[in-house]
Amino acid sequence: MQEASTGSLLLKMNEKKQLRRDISLLGVFCIATGAMISSGLFILPGIASAKVGPALFLSYILASLFALPTVLSQAELTQPCLKQEEIISLLHGVWAS
């Protein structure tokens, strides 16, 4: 008897609450971005590892050596050399206008 009442309760809940079948532009963007990031981070290294084996570790080291000068240059260019008074005047100029 309890199974029948549980089944009827679930049926009533399903009748009341149904999901809408539409998706916004933001939803499509989030799904597509998540798929691209996850495939690049998790799937492609596995495929590459299956093809090249232990040489994949060597290729990551080589790629990081090539990327290192770019990363260090960006870090140097984006590091602000401002004093506290200059930061306050800069923020005041941005927010006041």
Same structural domain for residues 59 and 97? Answer: yes
Give the tens place of pLDDT for each residue, 19-51. Answer: 777 888 999 999 999 998 888 888 888 888 899
Rounded distance, CA 35 to CA 29, Å? Answer: 10
Asked if residue 40 and residue 67 are part of one domain, the reply reads no
CA atoms within 13 A on the CB side of 90: 8
DSSP structure class, residue 54: T
C-alpha torsion angle, residues 13, 16, 17, 22 (rounded to 10): 150
> Quick one: 94 and 63 in the same domain?
yes
What pLDDT is recorded for position 1?
46
Residue 85 and residue 10: Cα distance in Å, rounded? 64
Range of the domain at 49: 24-53
In the structure, what pLDDT confidence band is assigned to residue 83 with cuts at 50, 70 and 90? low
User: Does residue 9 form part of some domain?
Assistant: no
pTM over 0.85: no
Looking at residue 53, the DSSP 8-state letter turns out to be T
The answer to whether the Cα torsion of 83, 86, 90, 95 is positive or negative is positive
- The span from the CA of 44 to the CA of 52, in Å, is 12
Report how many domains make up the chain: 2
